[in-house]
Amino acid sequence: MIEKIRVAIFASGSGSNAENLVQYFNQHQKIEIVSFYCNNPSAAVIERAKKLNLPCLIFSKADFTTKGTVLLKLEEEKIDFIVLAGFLWLVPTYLVAKFPQKIVNIHPALLPKYGGKGMYGHKVHQAVAFNKDLETGISVHYVNELYDEGDIIFQAKIKVETTDTENSIAQKVHKLEYEHYPAVVEQIISKYFNV
Ligand code: GRF
């Protein structure tokens, strides 16, 4: 039997994308979601991990910013690829170096618009609504040591109607994420590992 590519998901919040990824890769022949990693002890993603029967490592800033618990666990679990799904901390240099072109993130806007430190979740949709943008969307990008600045791999757009609010934009963008993120991750992994 061929060994599957082992994927870890990092999340800080609700984890609805994380769960959607797990469902997509359930029974996948070549790719397996092995575990969740979470920096926020009160995040709902921890409950999702339990429900999905997946281990979830909860870690502190110190565990993460210097080589420590997180790296050890990734090695122990033989993780090949990392997917960020609503993960809010900057990924430290040692981890980017350990997983070159093997960490991806999804951002709920059309980068380079509305990226950078502090631009996440509702703040992004609020800015789109405030600026009366005519379109918004999602960006999947490689992760480097800077917030939202790695090379963009994929984008998808939606129209923003004049009647849209911050909440309705958030809902539409989430839907777009569920539609595209798993398949984009699948393509990136398949290409990288030639599977
Ligand atoms: C998503 O909108 C994603 O683009 C952003 O954080 C949000 C996470 O949502 N990076 P959820 O926790 O997956 O529901």
pLDDT at position 147, please? Answer: 87
Q: Which two three-digit tokens encode residue 44?
A: 């709902």
pLDDT at position 1, please? Answer: 65
- Ligand 1 centroid from CA 28, angstroms: 23
- Under the phi-then-psi rule, with left for phi > 0, alpha for psi from -120 to 50, and beta for the rest, what region is 134? alpha
Does 107 participate in catalysis according to the annotation? yes
Query: What SS3 class is residue 152?
Result: strand
Query: What SS3 class is residue 50?
Result: helix
pLDDT at position 61, please? Answer: 97
Using only C-alpha atoms, what is the Rg of the chain?
A: 16
Flag residues of the chain having pLDDT under 50: none
The predicted model scores a pTM of: 0.97
pLDDT at position 2, please? Answer: 76
pLDDT at position 60, please? Answer: 97
* Contacts of residue 60, Cβ cutoff 8 Å, sequence gap at least 6: 39
Q: 5-193, what's its fold? A: Rossmann fold (3.40.50)
Among 21, 120, 152, residue to substitute to test ligand 1 (most atoms within 8 Å of Cβ) = 120
Nearest alpha carbon, ligand 1 atom 5: 86
Which sign does the torsion angle of CA 35, 40, 42, 45 carry? negative
d(CA 27, CA 19): 14
Nearest alpha carbon, ligand 1 atom 9: 86
